[in-house]
Each structure stands twice: as structure tokens, then as C-alpha cells.
């Protein structure tokens, strides 16, 4: 039997599909080969030809060679887009973990670039010409800043907690208040980390109230170490009580045991300067008697991702000798960045240079001026009062008054989605039919891109 006429036509069309080699010799393929290389270009051609074959079988016309090579180019461009790329954070959440937490200061970036473009003194002592230690680099500056005896830097604070407990508490009873058995997010739960380290968890007190006597009772029953963990991302309010770190240190030291403090955010400056609650600073916690303190590099410190461990030299030496330290230690980019960040604090220019401290200290009247300028440049939108938050598991429930650019939309969700597709992507807040943009977290050099992005979605905006 003869095939139906349309099938017949398609069989002819299928035969008309060019070969991979044919497309490789197309004049426009040359530039693609130069940019993407032979293997990658060939595999893109195969994919495009497969798709074309499917289309022809479905009764669609056979695309010409020119059209096919254009599809190959599109595919290669899409495949080569890096997925980790900068965005404009207009959410007003300063330490947005999903958006990479703290942006770095220009000096910090410069130091990272200098150290990584060449060989470095990472583990090399220039005076002796012999092997040195990578921990010395950030350590001297941080010791000067905090008065700690010794410093160790690892990958992140979750790693720091795991390392400290593995080195000091394996097989030992560790007491922690029930109010501090926290989950930080991203699956980091204090009780799980304790279990992983081999420590035996001893819960003391209740969710809302824990007293020094509760810890003392645990010590009497064989607890060998006390852990104090920052609640970070929640607050217990009302009828609450917890001994402060000084009281707890006194009780712990009476029995000759160490007090470990997971500070979480680790502020080096007094947060009450910004109208926020006072967070115990690293220096205060050490002064109050904590033996080992750890915190993140990319939260309130405003530096690169790191877990910073400091405290008594004898305990830190034990931690440094644990095999996990080798697995968790910080890399040279992180150490270079921390050095530059610590220098800002030592020189007293942290508030001018470190982006997140600039954001924290931004004055509402200046934020209002920026939002108003945006509205004026756009010719649409209004400026309304609102709040920014610190985020990143720091200072929960603490808001900072701000001014927002508010855009009324038919669908604010749709407009927010369109902004995410802009290059660079813009991340805004949605509140009912309003699209809200907070100048506090938009870096000044991103403003031009922000305005361009907002203009590009003008047709989705009503007022």
C-alpha cells in the first residue's frame, strides 16, 4: 500500500535534514566553534537536529540551515549562562541567606583578587623561608580586635560548631538550655550537630526559663561542657529567664569546665547604635568568660563566608589538632577577604566601607531621598513608609524604619516575576497588589540597572 500523501511528504522532508557535518561547515558555525569549541558545538547541533526531526514527524515544515544554526547558537548561549550571578536585592532583608548574605567591601574584593591571582604566603613564613601556618593571617588582626588568646578559621559556622564539639566533647555530656535547641535553617539543628560530634546531649531548664542552678545540677551529674547557643532566628517573649554569659561562665568555671558559645552572628560593633537591640559583641562574650566562641564571617561581620573560632589558646590548640580541622579549614580567598574586612574594623572605617554596616546605619531620610529619586526618574510609583529587616538569623523581630518605592500592579506577582527575569535580576517584595522596593539593600552602583529594569516592566504597572 502507498503511504498517505502527508507521510510521504514527511519522509522526503526527513531526508532533507542536514547532517551534523553539514551544519559544522555552515559559514555561521565558525564563530560558534571558536567560542564554544568543537565538542560542545557538535552536541548542540545534534540536539537541534533531533528536535527538528521531531517537528517534521509531527507534520511541521523542515527549518532551513540558517534557521537551524540560529537555534544552535541560541542553545549554546543558554547553556553557557552561569547560574550563579549577581542580583539586585530590593527586599530590604540585609542578610538574605538565599541571596548570598553579606556583599563585600571594595578593599576586601581587591585583597581577594591580589592573593588569588598570584602565589601567596598562605602557608609560608617569609622570615625563615620555611612552612608557615595559614591560621596566622586573619588571627593577628582578630586577636587585636577582640582580645582573644587564639583564633582558628573554618569554612562556615556550622562547621565551627561541629569541629569544636568533636574536638572537645566527644563521648562527653554537654549541657544546653532547652530554649537554645534551635534549628538555624538549611537543616542545621543544634541537637543533630551535637549528636554528629559524638557529644551526649543533656537538656537543662525549660523552653522559657533556665536557671544557673539547672546547669549546676547537670554538672553535678557528670556534664563536662556547657554550650550556649544564640537563638538567632526566633524570640521567646513573656515569662522568660536565662542566666547571662557571665553568670554561666562563673558557674562553669567553679567546676573547672569550659563554656562554649555559638554566637551565630558575631557582632564586632554595638548593634544598639543602629536602633536595634544590643547584641552581645564578640569581645563582651570573651570578657564575660566564654572559653571558646564561634560565629559566622558573612553575617553581621560583613565578610566572606567563614566560621570563626576564638578563645583560650589551650582549647584552640586541641581543636586545631582534630582531623576535622583539616577537612573544614578556610581557603585562601576567605582568609584574604577576612583580613581586609578586619582591617576596616581596626582602622575604624567599617561603617563607611562594609556594605552591610552602611545598610544598617542608613538614615531613613536618606532612604526616603533615594526612593523619591527613583520615583522621579521613573515617572511612576509612590514612596511609602515601611520596614527593613536584618535577616540571616540575626536580630529576629527587630525592624529598621525605611522608605519604599511602591508600584501598584494588576498582578504584583507577575511584575515581580518579570523583574526576576531582568538582567541583572531584581528581587522585590510583594504585598497584595503592590510591588515594594527598599533602597536600603540596593547597592548604590546598582541603581542605574534597577531603574532600567523597572522601566522595562512599565506596562505591568498601574500607578
Ligand X SMILES: *Cc1c(COP(=O)(O)O)cnc(C)c1O
Taking alpha carbons only, the member of 375, 366, 355 closest to residue 451 is 375
Question: Cβ 97 to ligand X, closest distance in Å?
Answer: 7
Give the three cell numbers for residue 454: 523597572
Q: Pick the closer one to ligand X by CB: 10 or 305.
A: 305
Distances (CA, A) of 387 to 240, 336, 405, 428, 441: 27, 34, 12, 14, 12
Residue 45 or 268 with smaller CB distance to ligand X = 268
Q: In the complex, what is the shortest distance from the CB of residue 396 to ligand X, in angstroms, rounded to a whole number?
A: 10
- CA-CA-CA-CA torsion sign (191, 197, 201, 204): negative
Min CB(232)–ligand X separation in Å: 3
Q: Residue 388 is inside which H or E element, if any?
A: strand 382-389
Report the residue from 62, 141, 145, 229 that binds ligand X according to the rule CB under 6 A: 229
In the bound state with ligand X, the residue whose beta carbon lies nearer, of 265 and 271, is 265
181 vs 373, which CB is nearer to ligand X?
181
The Cα–Cα gap between 294 and 300 comes to 13
User: Whole-number minimum distance, CB 183 to ligand X, in Å?
Assistant: 10
Give the 3-state secondary structure of residue 202.
strand
Please, what sign has the CA dihedral across residues 421, 423, 428, 432? negative
In angstroms, what is the C-alpha Rg of the chain? 29
For the chain, how are helix, strand and coil distributed in percent, rounded to 5?
Answer: 50, 20, 35
Closest by CA to 242, choosing from 213, 266, 269, 271, is 213
Beta carbon of residue 271, minimum distance to ligand X (angstroms, whole number): 14
Distance CA 341, CA 111 (A): 10
DSSP structure string for 423-453: SS-EE-EEETTEEEE-GGGS-GGGHHHHHHH
Out of 96, 224, 230, 358, point to the residue binding ligand X (CB under 6 A): 230
Kindly determine how many residues on this chain lie close enough to bind ligand X according to the rule CB under 6 A. 15
Q: Which stretch binds ligand X (CB under 6 A): 198-206, 229-237, 366-374, 421-429?
A: 229-237
Residues in CB range of 234: below 8 A, 6 or more apart = 182, 396
We find the least distance from the C-beta atom of residue 231 to ligand X, in angstroms, to be 8
- Neighbouring-strand partners of residue 399: 389
Interface positions, 391-410, toward ligand X (CB under 6 A): 393
Site track for ligand X across 242-271, x = CB under 6 A: --------------------x-xx------
Give 182 or 409: the residue with its C-beta nearer to ligand X.
Answer: 182
Per CB under 6 A, 232 contacts ligand X: yes
Grid cell, residue 108, equals 576586601
Rounded distance between C-alpha atoms, residue 336 and residue 297, angstroms = 12
Which residues on adjacent β-strands are paired with residue 295?
A: 264, 308
Give the residue among 463, 446, 398, 405 at the shortest CA–CA distance from 429: 405
Judged by CB, which is closer to ligand X: 139, or 165?
165
Among 167, 184, 226, 259, binds ligand X (CB under 6 A): 184
Residue 188 touching ligand X (CB under 6 A) = yes
Q: Is 156 in the site for ligand X (CB under 6 A)?
A: yes
> Which residue is at the shortest CB distance from ligand X?
264
Q: Does 41 bind ligand X (CB under 6 A)?
A: no
Q: Is 381 in the site for ligand X (CB under 6 A)?
A: no
Cell of 163: 569541629
Kindly write out the interface string for residues 108-147 of this chain, putting x where it contacts ligand X by CB under 6 A and - elsewhere. Answer: ----------------------------------------
User: Which residue, 232 or 441, is less far from ligand X as judged by CB?
Assistant: 232
Q: Which is nearer to ligand X, 393 or 453 (CB)?
A: 393
Residues of this chain that interact with ligand X (CB under 6 A) are: 156-158, 161, 184, 188, 229-230, 232, 262, 264-265, 296, 307, 393
Amino acid at each position: 500500500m502507498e503511504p498517505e500523501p502527508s507521510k510521504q511528504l514527511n519522509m522526503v522532508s526527513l531526508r532533507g535534514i542536514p547532517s551534523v557535518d553539514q551544519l559544522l561547515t555552515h559559514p555561521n558555525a565558525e564563530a560558534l566553534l571558536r567560542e564554544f569549541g568543537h565538542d560542545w558545538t557538535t552536541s548542540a547541533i545534534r540536539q537541534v537536529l533531533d528536535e527538528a526531526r521531531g517537528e517534521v514527524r509531527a507534520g511541521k515544515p523542515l527549518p532551513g540551515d540558517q534557521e537551524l544554526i540560529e537555534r544552535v547558537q541560541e542553545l549554546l548561549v543558554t547553556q553557557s549562562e552561569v547560574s550563579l550571578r549577581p542580583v539586585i536585592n530590593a527586599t530590604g532583608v540585609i542578610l538574605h541567606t538565599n541571596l548570598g548574605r553579606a556583599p563585600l567591601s571594595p578593599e576586601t574584593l581587591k585583597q581577594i583578587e591580589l592573593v588569588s591571582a598570584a602565589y601567596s604566603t598562605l602557608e609560608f613564613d617569609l622570615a625563615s623561608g620555611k612552612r608557615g601556618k595559614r591560621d596566622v593571617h586573619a588571627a593577628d588582626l582578630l586577636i587585636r580586635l577582640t582580645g582573644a588568646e587564639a583564633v582558628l578559621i573554618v569554612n562556615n559556622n556550622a562547621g565551627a560548631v561541629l569541629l569544636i564539639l568533636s574536638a572537645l566533647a566527644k563521648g562527653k555530656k554537654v549541657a544546653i538550655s532547652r530554649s537554645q535547641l534551635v534549628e538555624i535553617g538549611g537543616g542545621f539543628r543544634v541537637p543533630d550537630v551535637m549528636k554528629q560530634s559524638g557529644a551526649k546531649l543533656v537538656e537543662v531548664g525549660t523552653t522559657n526559663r533556665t536557671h544557673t542552678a539547672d546547669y549546676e545540677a547537670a554538672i553535678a551529674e557528670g556534664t563536662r561542657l556547657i554550650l550556649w547557643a544564640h537563638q538567632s532566628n526566633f524570640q521567646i517573649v513573656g515569662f522568660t529567664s536565662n542566666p547571662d554569659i557571665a553568670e554561666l561562665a562563673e558557674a562553669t568555671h567553679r567546676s573547672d569546665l569550659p563554656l562554649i558559645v555559638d554566637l551565630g552572628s558575631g557582632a564586632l560593633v554595638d548593634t544598639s547604635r543602629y536602633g536595634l537591640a544590643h547584641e552581645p559583641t564578640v569581645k563582651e562574650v570573651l570578657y564575660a568568660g566564654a572559653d571558646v566562641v564561634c560565629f559566622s564571617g558573612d553575617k553581621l561581620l560583613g565578610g566572606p563566608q567563614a566560621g570563626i573560632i576564638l578563645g583560650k589558646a589551650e582549647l584552640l590548640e586541641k581543636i586545631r589538632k582534630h582531623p576535622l580541622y583539616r577537612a573544614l579549614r578556610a581557603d585562601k580567598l576567605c582568609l584574604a577577604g577576612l583580613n581586609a574586612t578586619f582591617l576596616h574594623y581596626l582602622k575604624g572605617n567599617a561603617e563607611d566601607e562594609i556594605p552591610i554596616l552602611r545598610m544598617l546605619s542608613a538614615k531613613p531620610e536618606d532612604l526616603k531621598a533615594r526612593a523619591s529619586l527613583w520615583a522621579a526618574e521613573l515617572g511612576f510609583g509612590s514612596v511609602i513608609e515601611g520596614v527593613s529587616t536584618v535577616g540571616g538569623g540575626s536580630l529576629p523581630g527587630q525592624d529598621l524604619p525605611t522608605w519604599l518605592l511602591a508600584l501598584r500592579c494588576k498582578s504584583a506577582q507577575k511584575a515581580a516575576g518579570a523583574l526576576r527575569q531582568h538582567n541583572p535580576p531584581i528581587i522585590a517584595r510583594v504585598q497584595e497588589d503592590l510591588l515594594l522596593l527598599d533602597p536600603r539593600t540596593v547597592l548604590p552602583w546598582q541603581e542605574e540597572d534597577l531603574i532600567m529594569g523597572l522601566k522595562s516592566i512599565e506596562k505591568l504597572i498601574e500607578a
